[in-house]
Amino acid sequence: MEKLLDVKDLKISFQTYAGKVQAVRGVSFFVNKKEVLGIVGESGCGKSVTSSAIMRILPQPPALYEGGEARLLDVNLLSLKEEEMRLIRGRDISMIFQDAMASLNPTIKIGKQIMEPLMIHQSLKANAAREKAIEMLDLVGISNPEKRVDQYPHEFSGGMRQRAMIAIALACRPKLLIADEPTTALDVTIQAQIIKLMNNLKEEMGTSIIMITHDLGVVAEMCDRIVVMYAGKIIESGNAKAIFYNPKHPYTTSLLESVPNMKMSRDKVLTPIPGTPPDLFAPPVGCSFYARCKHAMNICKDNEPAVTDVPDEYDRLHYSACWLNSLEYKEYNKEAVR
C-alpha cells in the first residue's frame, strides 16, 4: 500500500479573546491510495479542524499552525506558499461540506459552480467546461443535466444539492476527497443514496476519501480504516473490523455502546457516555478521557498514555492510546495482584 497523505504530529490552536484553544493536539494518521479513512468523534473533538487544516482553509487568524506536517505524496502541504496551495485545492484535494445548501453559492448557476474548478485547474474554455459540467451532473445521478446545469441551487432538492457538491469536488478528479459530515443534514434514504454514490465514484475514479463523521453507521458502510478522535487527539486507529469488533480504548467501546444496532436484544438499554469533553483552553495533563472513563486508574490522571500497538486478528496496525493496553501498566498490575 502506498501512502497518499501522511499527517504527522499536527497541532492547531485558535487564538480567542478568552485565550488559546488547543483544538488539535498532535495528530498523526495516513491515508493510503484508493482507501476510505473515517475520522470519528463527537462534536468539538477537532475532526473538522484537522481536515480544514490539511486544505489550509482555516482563517488565520484566529487559527495558528503550531507544528507538524501533512505530506501529500512528497509535498508538505503546510510549508507551501499560498499560491502553490491554491493550485492543489480542487485539483489534488477537494472537499465537501455538511450543509450543501449553505455550501453552494445561491446567486450562481450550478453549472457555473462546477465549471469554476475546471476552468482554473484544467484551463478549459467555457464551452468545454460546460460540457464537462453536464457530464459531471450526469455522473452524480442528476437527471436531465442539460436543463439542470442552468438552474440555481434553490431549484435543487437537498439530496441533489449534495450530489451537485460532489460533482464540483470531483470535477478535476482529485487524488483525495475530504468529506466533512456529508450526510448529516440529509434524511436517511438520501443518506444511503449519497453513500452509495460516493462508494461508486471512488471505485470509478480511484479517489481516496477522508470521511469525517460522528455517524458510526456511515463509517461501517464506507470506511476501510478508522481513526477515533477525542479532545484534539487520536485515541485509537485501525481497520474497520478491528475498531468495531475489538475496540481497544474505553472511549471507542463507549461510543459503540451508545449506538443502537439491529442485532441488539430489545431490552438492551443504550449507554450514553456521562460528562462532557474536557475544556481545550486548558487540556488535562494525563489522559483526556480520564474524567469520563469507567476504567480510570490513578496512573491516567497525570500521565498521558502513549500510543501503543494492539495488533489483533483483524489488523496488525491497530493502535490505541490507553494505559489499559500498555505493557508498563500490565507489569504494574501484575505487581499489584501479587
Residue 121 binds other proteins, judged by CB under 8 A: yes
Contact region with other proteins (CB under 8 A), list: 2-10, 21-29, 150-158, 281-289: 150-158
Question: Using CB under 8 A, which of 120, 190, 299, 307 touches other proteins?
Answer: 120
The binding track of 45-84 with respect to other proteins, each residue x by CB under 8 A or -, is: ----------x-x---------------------------
Cα distance between residue 46 and residue 162, in whole Å = 23
Is residue 137 within the footprint of other proteins (CB under 8 A)?
no
Q: Which stretch binds other proteins (CB under 8 A): 139-147, 163-171, 238-246, 260-268?
A: 163-171
Cα-to-chain-centroid distance, residue 195 = 14
Answer yes or no: are the C-beta atoms of 116 and 99 closer than 8 Å. Answer: no
Using the rule CB under 8 A, which residue among 41, 46, 90, 232 binds other proteins?
Answer: 90
User: Is residue 182 at the binding interface for other proteins, with CB under 8 A as the rule?
Assistant: no
Length of the chain equals 338
Rounded Cα–Cα distance for residues 236 and 119 (Å): 41
Applying CB under 8 A, the span of 147-155, 233-241, 243-251, 315-323 interacting with other proteins comes to 147-155
Q: Which three cell numbers stand for residue 163?
A: 450530489
> Residue 61: in which H helix or E strand, if any?
none
DSSP summary character for residue 51: H
Q: Fill in the amino acid letter for 147.
A: K
Beta bridge partners of 94: 177
State the minimum distance, in angstroms, from the CB of residue 17 to other proteins: 11
In this structure, the strands spanning 176-180 and 208-213 are parallel
What's the closest the beta carbon of residue 5 comes to other proteins, in angstroms? Answer: 16
Please give the size of the binding site for other proteins, defined by CB under 8 A.
32
Q: Which amino acid is at 172?
A: C
Sign of the Cα torsion 153, 154, 155, 157 reads positive
Residue closer to other proteins, measured from CB, 9 or 84: 84
Which of the residues 92 through 111 are near other proteins (CB under 8 A)? 94-95, 97, 99, 102-108
Strand 93-96 to 63-72 pairing:
unpaired
Q: Is 127 in the site for other proteins (CB under 8 A)?
A: no
Which one, of 247, 193, 246, lies nearest residue 221 by Cα? 193
Residue 78 Cα distances to 55, 195, 316, angstroms:
9, 30, 30
User: Based on CB atoms, which residue is closest to other proteins, 5 or 95?
Assistant: 95
Q: How near is the Cβ of 311 to other proteins at its closest, in Å?
A: 37
Least CB distance to other proteins at residue 89 (A): 4
- Using CB under 8 A, list all residues that contact other proteins: 55, 57, 86-91, 94-95, 97, 99, 102-108, 116-117, 120-121, 151-152, 154-157, 165, 168-169
